[in-house]
Amino acid sequence: MGCGQSFDQYSALLDLPITPRQPPDVPVCPELVVPPHQQQWGFILKPAMFSATGNDFNILNQLGQPVAIVRGKYFSLHDKQMILNASGLPLLQMEKKLFGVHHTYYLKDPINGMTIATIRSRLSLFTPIYELYRGEDYDNPQNFIWRMQGDFFSMRYSILDLNGPIARAEANPFTQFNNFGINGFNYNETYFVEVASGVESILVLAMCLVADEVRAEEMRRREEQRRQRAAEANTFAYGGGVAYTNTNNNNTNGVYVNVGFNQQPQQGAFFNPAFS
């Protein structure tokens, strides 16, 4: 499942069925562990229609009934999110690591603040990969729990343990811009999630939230770059005739000069005649 895996092999992985697991001895959230007598549970991870933080979601079951809610924290350096049950009681806190090459999120007990697990991203040839580890020591392979691999093009994800798929998620491609906040569109998605019997659903949902946030962050970064390029192009075309001088000219010495209206450019400069 590393970088040597072909795209066809990875696509086939997404189509593998999810299979039941033995329920955890000490679950993080017992009410969201799929019971053994049911083959799987379905969830809808739906962004709030208006989200000032960009991190607010409603979690529904397959019947459309509310199960939990996700609330982002205003002005949080760590992009904190809290998962609460339908009654508003906190279940799990998510907190982003500020500095690091890879995206790292800590899943914490909302009562005592202890780190329960860590989600960390890493790069692969064809797809982003997110890995779940017990506690904070993600460098110890013995702490590995699950791996989440995603198809960037179809926005489909499979979550696997060492024995195969235990959950999968798929984004609705028609809901890319349904989450509007004070900074504009937040680029969140609506996800349909299936979780196998015996699996802790809240950890699966947390991995989906991280994958969505990383993707939304990349979308916002690309949009900001596009706006900057457009602003630079407008400045060059309409902002006063920016010109670059010949480096051999002794007077200008190869620096940018601003050629104003009704002014002649310095000798050896390239300029926009519209502003001369």
- Can you give the pTM of this predicted structure? 0.75
146-187 per-position pLDDT tens digit:
999 877 666 788 999 999 999 999 987 554 444 444 334 445
**Contact (Cβ atoms closer than 8 angstroms) between residue 149 and residue 177:** no
Residues 6 or more apart in contact with residue 214 via CB below 8 angstroms: 103, 121, 128, 130
Looking at the fold, whether 221 and 257 belong to one and the same domain comes out as no
The answer to whether residue 233 is domain-embedded is: no
The answer to whether residue 125 is domain-embedded is: yes
Looking at the fold, whether 147 and 35 belong to one and the same domain comes out as yes
The answer to whether residue 234 is domain-embedded is: no
Q: Is the pLDDT of residue 227 over 90?
A: no
Q: Name the token pair of 190.
A: 């609506």
The pLDDT, as a whole number, for residue 26 is 93
Looking at the fold, whether 161 and 57 belong to one and the same domain comes out as yes
Looking at the fold, whether 210 and 258 belong to one and the same domain comes out as no
What average pLDDT is seen over the chain?
78
The answer to whether residue 111 is domain-embedded is: yes
Looking at the fold, whether 195 and 258 belong to one and the same domain comes out as no
Looking at the fold, whether 218 and 261 belong to one and the same domain comes out as no
Looking at the fold, whether 133 and 262 belong to one and the same domain comes out as no
Nearest CA to 270 out of 194, 252, 120 is that of 252
Looking at the fold, whether 167 and 251 belong to one and the same domain comes out as no
Question: pLDDT tier at 274 (50, 70, 90 boundaries)?
Answer: very low
The answer to whether residue 231 is domain-embedded is: no
Count of domains for the chain: 2
Q: Is the pLDDT of residue 77 over 60?
A: no
The answer to whether residue 1 is domain-embedded is: no
Looking at the fold, whether 259 and 212 belong to one and the same domain comes out as no
Report the half-sphere exposure of 258 (CA within 13 A, side-chain side). Answer: 6
Looking at the fold, whether 176 and 254 belong to one and the same domain comes out as no
Q: Is the pLDDT of residue 100 over 50?
A: yes
The answer to whether residue 96 is domain-embedded is: yes
Domain that holds residue 187: 7-225
The answer to whether residue 102 is domain-embedded is: yes
Looking at the fold, whether 164 and 78 belong to one and the same domain comes out as yes
Question: pLDDT tier at 245 (50, 70, 90 boundaries)?
Answer: very low
Looking at the fold, whether 178 and 214 belong to one and the same domain comes out as yes
34-56 per-position pLDDT tens digit:
999 999 999 999 888 766 555 78
Q: Is the pLDDT of residue 214 over 60?
A: yes
Mean pLDDT throughout 56-62? 92
Nearest CA to 145 out of 158, 155, 135 is that of 135
Mean pLDDT throughout 121-137? 85
E strand residue ranges, 25-89: 40-47, 57-61, 66-72, 81-85
CATH number for the domain that contains residue 41: 2.40.160.200
Mean pLDDT throughout 179-200? 71
